[in-house]
Every structure is written in structure tokens, then in C-alpha cells.
Amino acid sequence: MEYLLLEKIDGIGVITINRPDALNAMNDRVVTEISTAVSNMIAVDSIGVIIITGSGEKAFVAGADIKAMQQMDADGALKFGKAGQNMTLVIENSPKPVIAAVNGFALGGGCEISLACHIRVASENAVFGQPEVLLGLIPGWGGTQRLPKIVGTGIANELITTGKQIAAEEAHKIGLANHVVPQDELMDTCKKIAQQILKNGPNAVAASLECINKSVGTSIVEGLNHEVKSFSRLFETGEAKEGLTAFVEKRPPIFRD
Ligand code: CAA
């Protein structure tokens, strides 16, 4: 990988986007590498949670690469847009929770990567925004679809049409960031959340994420139907049996070797 640093620490896969001279802005290559890295980590049994962050203390990701987009025609932009959307779908559909450790600017495509993650934790200096309209664009990697679902349509309308940037505290207030912590505590906070998740049944965690994903954009009846089938299917696994039995036997469950 040219632009990513990859680590595996105690069941957690950490992806650090590392293009500091462009504030981790994403060109074609970065997009492809992220899609590949997340897919690879999903396939590794010993990884249960993935954390995505940016290198340095200034930026998570300052957006899609504006210099590359400046050279694109509509066909090129369609290809670039689809590749970016595909990357966000790989993240969103991951059966392993993906946590965004937002360590600075999360603008445009950077904010959109965080929106596709299941949990967002921000450092105090983080800045979120969808400034595409300032460039005569719209968010092209899912921002128009996911932001309203996370913060509500009214606030998404304002953020996207003004293109304004908001500080971490405001992002927290509107539900965009789950937590705001000092920068030097960011990775530890994300790892603590990951460790809590790792204690739980991996099939149950994956099924929860899948049901939550399905709840968005489907009717409540469809969502409930899907949920109950998935709930009942878990009873066919040894995992549910172990979790239920462990509770009854007043001992911690053992879900992993
Ligand atoms: N693309 C390419 N290069 C970028 C970039 C981007 N998105 N963001 C920053 N950079 C580069 C700068 O060009 C600069 O490089 P040079 O020194 O070679 O000129 C370097 O990173 C440092 O940036 P600044 O000097 O601008 O740093 P700053 O501290 O003054 O400002 C900033 C920081 C406010 C984040 C500013 O860089 C900025 O506004 N960046 C653009 C943010 C943006 O508009 N993002 C959305 C892109 S569109 C998009 O993402 C579309 C989509 O939905 C897919």
C-alpha cells in the first residue's frame, strides 16, 4: 500500500491514511487502497473491529483530491464517484464494526468516509464539513444520503447547502460524533470501544449491524421482518447458545478461542 499504514493490535485492524503533504486527500489510488484494506481486514478471522484514522494531528481526510478532480471530465468524475461510493459501501456493509477516529479535518469525501463508519469518535480539534458546494460540486460519496439519516434532514440541508465547517463539539451536539476527546486520547478511546465490542458474539455484532443498515430506507415492517429472521437465525449458532448459557451459569461468555 502506497498511502496506507496497516496494523493489527489485539483483534483490532487499524488503517491510517497516510498522505500528509495533501492532508490525506484521496485520489484514485487512495480510494482503491482503502476498499482493498477494509475488504482484506474483513476476511481476516482474527480481526473483529476496524479503526480508520488519518496520519498526523491536523487532518483525518481533507476530502477527495481537488487537484485530481480539476483534470476530470464527466466520465472521469462518474468513475471516480462510483469508486468512492463503492469504498463507502465496503465500509458500511462490513460485518465488523468500523470506527472512524477523526483526528482533524474531515471534509468532503473525508466526512463521507466517517459517515459510512459505524461509530465516529472525534478529537477536540476535529472539523467536519461537506464543503463541496464551495467547489461547485455536491457530496459525491454518499454525503447527501447518509448525513440526513445521521443528523436529520434539516441540519443536513443546512450543512450541505452552506458548505460550512463545524467544530467537534457541535458535531457531537448534532449526533455526528459519538464522543469528543483530547487528541492524545483518541486512539485509546477507540480501542476501548473496540475491546468492548470484541467481548461480544461476532455473529450477533454482524447481524446487529446488518439489521441497523436495513432499518435505513426500508419501511418499519420490512425492517422488523428482517430483524426477527436474523434474530431467530442466531439461535441456530453455538454463539447464541454460549451467550445464553453463560448468563444462566453466571460466568462470562467465551465467544472466541
Ligand atoms: N485535495 C488536494 N489537496 C489538498 C486538499 C484536497 N482536498 N486539501 C488540502 N490539500 C493540500 C493543499 O493543496 C496543500 O498542498 P500544497 O502545499 O501542495 O498547496 C496542502 O494540502 C495543505 O493544505 P492547506 O495549505 O490548504 O492547509 P490549510 O491549513 O491552510 O487549510 C484546509 C486546511 C481548510 C483543510 C484546506 O486545505 C481546504 O480547504 N482543503 C479542501 C477541503 C475541501 O474542500 N474538501 C472537499 C473536497 S471535494 C470532495 O471531497 C468531493 C466528494 O464528495 C467526493
| pLDDT band at residue 216 under the 50/70/90 scheme | confident
What is the percentage of the chain residues whose pLDDT exceeds 90?
80
Q: How many residues does the chain have?
A: 257
The answer, yes or no, to whether any atom of ligand 1 lies below 6 A from the CB of 243, is no
pLDDT at res. 234: 78
- Judge whether residue 110 has pLDDT over 90: yes
Catalytic residue among 57, 92, 124, 132: 132
pLDDT tens per residue, range 24-55: 999 999 999 999 999 999 999 999 999 999 99
Q: For 102-125, what is the mean pLDDT?
A: 98
User: Rounded to an integer, what distance in angstroms lies between the CA atom of residue 248 and that of residue 257?
Assistant: 21
| Residue whose CA is at the smallest distance from ligand 1 atom 12 | 22
Q: Is 176 within 8 Å of 107 (Cβ atoms)?
A: no
Ligand 1 atom nearest the C-alpha of 165 is 34
DSSP state of 14: E
Q: pTM of the predicted model, to two decimals? A: 0.94
Whether 132 sits among the annotated catalytic residues: the reply is: yes
The residue whose C-alpha atom lies closest to atom 1 belonging to ligand 1 is 65
Helix 74-92 vs helix 109-116: crossing angle, to nearest 10: 30
112 catalytic residue (yes or no): yes
Give the span between the Cα atoms of 133 and 21, in whole angstroms: 24
Write the pLDDT tens digit of every residue in 141-169. 999 989 999 999 999 999 999 999 999 99
**Cβ contact 124:183 at 8 Å:** yes
**Of 33, 112, 227, 239, which one is the catalytic site residue?**
112
**Which pLDDT score is estimated for 230?**
76
Comparing C-alpha atoms, which of 28, 83, 25, 75 is closest to residue 54?
25
Residue 144 C-alpha to ligand 1 middle, in angstroms?
Answer: 21
- For residue 94, the 8-state DSSP code is -
CA-nearest residue, atom 21 of ligand 1 = 22
Structure letter (DSSP) for residue 174:
T
Identify the helix (H) or strand (E) that includes residue 119: strand 119-123
Strand partners, 26: 64
* 137 ligand 1 Cβ < 6 A: yes
